[in-house]
């Protein structure tokens, strides 16, 4: 599901800071990635059919950060009121309602439950609109990229849709991604700390090894954590009944 390739080390541009050019563990994770599920390729550009190029660590962090919320199933009473069965469409409808209310309104707190199930892509230009959430024993992946354009053309090859996989299959895909990524980065850290061919770019071997140990433990932590926030779903459900229409 989570496909990636690390770029050759010699092709990775350094960070230029006060102490000169350097590369951190995060920087060394630069490469390309996309999400492929049931024949749909998310985070693949429509022009040229190529994946996102960025630090793979960013996707890894974001997926693991949202994992406790993704694995926490939405209440059936909320799922029954989702607009067209879509979390993204319902989120948009509720945001439009919340925009007419003060920030103290509890609807804003309920909207956090939707936001926490949306993959963070604000670092991309343009971004992508992707949500991952649980419905009973399946994880739903949906996307709506119709508004994202590059030079007037659709930005992403996966424009609008939804699919699902069993919860255990999703967990296995995340685990596989984590294990492959940290193994690839361990090889990279070992290589660059043993044979560094770019003396003009500073490395901190101790920091690289410590960050590697930190990332290796992220999956176990994510699987052990509860959802990040307690969400007043009843507020969202009541609002949907009143303003969007019962289903």
Give per-residue burial for 14-24: e unless 16+ CB within 10 Å, then b: beeeeeeeebb
Which of the four pLDDT bands, split at 50, 70 and 90, describes residue 246? very low
- Across all residues in the chain, what is the average pLDDT? 96
Q: Is the pLDDT of residue 130 over 60?
A: yes
Give per-residue burial for 188-197: e unless 16+ CB within 10 Å, then b: bbeebeeeee
Q: Is the pLDDT of residue 49 over 70?
A: yes
**Cα 24 from Cα 55, distance rounded (Å):** 11
In this prediction, residues 217-244 reach a mean pLDDT of: 93
Report in angstroms the alpha-carbon separations of 50 from 35, 123, 230.
12, 17, 38
pLDDT for the residue 244: 60
The pLDDT tens digits of the residues spanning 74-123 come to 999 999 999 999 999 999 999 999 999 999 999 999 999 999 999 999 99
pLDDT for the residue 247: 41
Token pair 């290589």: residue: 191
- The answer to which of 4-8, 60-64, 176-180, 241-245 has the lowest mean pLDDT is 241-245
Is residue 126 reached through a cis peptide bond, with omega within 30 degrees of 0 on the bond before it? yes
Q: Is the pLDDT of residue 71 over 60?
A: yes
Percent of the chain with pLDDT over 90: 95
67, two tokens: 């994992």
Sign of CA dihedral 61, 15, 200, 9: positive
Per-domain boundaries in the chain: 2-244
Q: Residue 149 pairs with which residues in a beta bridge?
A: 154
**Cα 135 from Cα 75, distance rounded (Å):** 8
Phi, psi of 53 (to 5 degrees): -115, 120
């Amino acid at each position: 599901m989570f496909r990636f390739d690390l770029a050759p080390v010699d092709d990775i541009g350094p960070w230029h800071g006060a102490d000169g050019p350097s590369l951190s563990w995060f920087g060394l994770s630069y490469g390309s990635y996309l999400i492929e599920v049931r024949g749909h390729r998310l985070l693949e550009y429509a022009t040229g059919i190529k994946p996102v190029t960025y630090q793979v660590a960013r996707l890894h962090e974001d997926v693991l950060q949202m994992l406790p919320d993704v694995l926490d199933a939405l209440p059936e009473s909320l799922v029954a009121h989702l607009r067209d069965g879509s979390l993204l469409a319902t989120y948009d409808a509720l945001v439009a309602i919340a925009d007419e209310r003060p920030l103290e309104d509890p609807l804003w707190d309920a909207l956090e439950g939707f936001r926490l199930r949306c993959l963070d892509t604000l670092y991309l230009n343009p971004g992508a609109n992707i949500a991952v959430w649980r419905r009973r024993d399946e994880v739903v992946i949906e996307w709506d990229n119709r508004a994202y354009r590059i030079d007037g053309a659709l930005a992403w090859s996966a424009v609008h849709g939804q699919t699902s996989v069993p919860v255990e299959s999703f967990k296995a895909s995340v685990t596989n991604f984590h294990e492959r990524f940290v193994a690839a980065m361990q090889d990279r850290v070992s290589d660059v700390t043993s044979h560094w061919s770019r003396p003009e770019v500073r490395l901190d071997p101790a920091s690289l090894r410590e960050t590697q140990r930190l990332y290796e433990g992220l999956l176990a932590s994510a699987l052990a954590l509860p959802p990040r926030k307690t969400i007043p779903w009843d507020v969202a459900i009541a609002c949907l009944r009143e303003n969007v229409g019962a289903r």
